[in-house]
Amino acid sequence: MNYRFDWSVLWSGQSGGWLLQGLLTTLEIATLGWLLAVALGVLSGALRTVPLALLRWLATGYVEFFRNVPLLVWMFFWYFGAPPMLPEIAREWLFDHGAEFWAAVFALGVYHGARFSEVIRAGIQSIPKTQLEAALSTGLTIVQAYRLIILPIALRLIIPPATNETLNLIKNSSVALTIGVAELTFQTRQIETYTAKAFEALAAGTVIYLMLCLTIATLMARIERRVAIPGMIAQGGAP
Amino acid sequence: MDFQVIVNNFAFLIAQGFFGIGTFTGGTLRLALPAIILGFLLGTLVGLARLSRRRWLNLPATIYVEFFRGVPLVMVIFWFWFIVPALVGKSAPEYVVALTAFVVFEAAYLAEIVRAGIQSVPRGQVEAATATGLTNSKTMRHVILPQALRNMIPALVTQFIVLLKDTSLASIIGYVDLTKAAQIVNNREIRPFELYLFIALVYWLCSYSMSRYARRLESRLASR
């Protein structure tokens, strides 16, 4: 095998800036997708615990429908399938403002929102009922009890699984290349196509993903230790 | 909206795309089933290596698991698309590339399931087996693994659901699975809304019914 290594394609010449551009786009769609996912996750996760059957049913329907279909299919659906159903004006606006970018953000957010929902529900349900009862007996209202007691505990308990989901979201943002979003994996493919340096391009992309995941995991572990409730986290962690 | 397109292409989408019966070497199930079986075999080896006290066994296994769990599957598929032909010396069929990538990738996740399954077997079982005079490997084969396997079944079903959904990504290297089949039909008919909604429902049906099954298994195990 006479493959000639040339790592300089990663930082010089025509393809020099592509990796950085790709990383920035990955961070953009992952961040926007994450915000949408957390919003949907908290909303539907909380709704699944309320005593109104209709709301519970709606939230459960959302979660079960979206997380049981591959993300790639959602990407195709939101990018190719949904826009033709929109009114003319909305469609034109969308295709003037990077439709593939917003389809990717939407697909990531809605898909991972369903998965975050499970994490948040499990977090709320893992807190013993006595906590709520104790809080109410001290004279707090139910909203105060949720805001001051239940949610602060739940949010700390879910840090490990929520971190896991965040990393999944970042890794899954690579699926956006299928609808033409120029994120990190797309750019490594681009470098490969233009320079025929497949090994270098793939290695660079892989290392960037690993570093990104490692950084976030380390950061979250530090936050988890910082906010840990003594005697609580050890028994409340994921099974 | 015109769902006639689904009726007209139903045989192609389901037989070719989902089951892999037809002119193309393809099919979602034809990829997912061998991938879970081979992945489980590799995953068991890696999981056992991770539990080993010998450093030369558990360090590489740990690196293997952490590496593949830190990299997107899309990236892994592209790696194999590039590496397999380089190793074989000629271009490899998409099926071989996709299957290798999925086995290697899934093994990292399955190894963790195997490890958790083995760790869930009570310590007393090992002590009792040793007391009856079984060797270490016999204890593993006849006492620990059978019990661990039973504990693992719900997690394995769940992982199979993940794998089944993930096989849609094989379509990016041209493997004709359900997603690619829908793309092929769409290129001819231009009915993206109906087609993608339809395959979403097919995936949903498989994965939802299996997740219900996994939940039932789990509660049955818990009540034992």
Query: Using an 8 Å Cβ cutoff, are B203 and B18 in contact?
Result: no
* Average pLDDT estimate for B130-134: 92
A172–chain B nearest CA distance, Å: 6
ipTM for the complex?
A: 0.90
CB atoms within 10 A of CB B141: 12
Query: Using an 8 Å Cβ cutoff, are A32 and A109 in contact?
Result: yes
Query: Using an 8 Å Cβ cutoff, are A127 and A157 in contact?
Result: yes
Cβ contact B196–A81 (<8 Å): yes
- What are the sequence ranges of the domains in chain B? 4-222
Residue numbers of A between 76 and 105 with CB closer than 8 Å to B: 76-77, 80-82, 84-85
Give the residue from B31, B75, B201 with the most A CB atoms within 10 Å of its CB, the best one to mutate: B75
Query: Using an 8 Å Cβ cutoff, are A169 and A209 in contact?
Result: no
**CA distances, B89 to each of B8, B83, B84, B198 (Å):** 41, 10, 8, 40
- pLDDT tens per residue, chain A (239 residues)? 567 788 888 888 777 889 999 999 999 999 999 999 999 998 898 788 777 889 999 999 999 999 999 999 999 999 999 988 888 888 888 888 889 999 999 999 999 999 999 998 888 888 888 888 898 899 998 778 878 888 788 888 899 999 999 999 999 999 999 999 999 999 999 998 888 888 889 999 999 999 999 999 999 999 988 888 776 644 444 43
**A84 contacts in chain B (CB < 8 Å):** 192-193
CA angle A227, A230, A231 (to 5 degrees): 135
From the list A39, A49, A31, the residue with the least C-alpha distance to A114 is: A39
Which residues, including other chains, have CB under 8 Å from residue A88's CB and lie 6 or more apart?
none
**B86 contacts in chain A (CB < 8 Å):** 1, 3
Q: Using CA atoms, how far apart are residues A5 and A7, in angstroms rounded to an integer?
A: 6
Q: H/E/C letters for each residue in chain B?
A: CCCHHHHHCHHHHHHHHHHCCCCCCCCHHHHHHHHHHHHHHHHHHHHHHHHCCCHHHHHHHHHHHHHHHCCCHHHHHHHHHHHHHHHHCCCCCHHHHHHHHHHHHHHHHHHHHHHHHHHCCCHHHHHHHHHCCCCHHHHHHHHHHHHHHHHHHHHHHHHHHHHHHHHHHHHHHCCCCHHHHHHHHHHHHCCHHHHHHHHHHHHHHHHHHHHHHHHHHHHHHHCC
Q: Using CA atoms, how far apart are residues B178 and B209, in angstroms rounded to an integer?
A: 18
Q: What pLDDT, in 10s, does the model give residues B204-216?
A: 999 999 999 998 9
Q: Using CA atoms, how far apart are residues B156 and A17, in angstroms rounded to an integer?
A: 42
Instruction: List the single residue in A77, A175, A214 with the smallest CB-CB distance to B197.
Output: A77
Q: What pLDDT, in 10s, does the model give residues B21-69?
A: 988 888 999 999 999 999 999 999 999 999 999 999 999 999 999 999 9
Cβ contact A185–B78 (<8 Å): yes
What local confidence, expressed as pLDDT, does residue A232 receive? 60
**CA distances, B80 to each of A15, A22, B100 (Å):** 23, 21, 7
Percent of chain B at pLDDT exceeding 90: 73
How many angstroms separate the most distant Cα atoms in chain A? 77
- In CATH terms, the fold of domain B4-222 is MetI-like fold (1.10.3720)
Cβ contact A76–B196 (<8 Å): yes
Q: What pLDDT, in 10s, does the model give residues A176-210?
A: 999 999 999 999 999 988 888 888 899 999 999 99
Residue with tokens 């690619």: B180
Chain-centroid distance, C-alpha A215: 16
At A47 the three-state DSSP class reads helix
DSSP single-letter state for residue A50: S
What local confidence, expressed as pLDDT, does residue A238 receive? 40
pLDDT at B89 over 90: no
CB atoms within 10 A of CB B171: 27
Instruction: List the single residue in A65, A177, A214 with the smallest CB-CB distance to B74.
Output: A177
A85–chain B nearest CA distance, Å: 8
Percent of chain B at pLDDT exceeding 70: 100
Cβ contact A68–B73 (<8 Å): no
Give CA torsion, residues A29, A32, A38, A41, to 10 deg.
-70
Amino acid identity at B137: S
- In CATH terms, the fold of domain A29-181 is MetI-like fold (1.10.3720)
Q: Using CA atoms, how far apart are residues B108 and B219, in angstroms rounded to an integer?
A: 26
Cβ contact A72–B171 (<8 Å): yes
A156–chain B nearest CA distance, Å: 23
Query: Using an 8 Å Cβ cutoff, are A45 and A124 in contact?
Result: yes
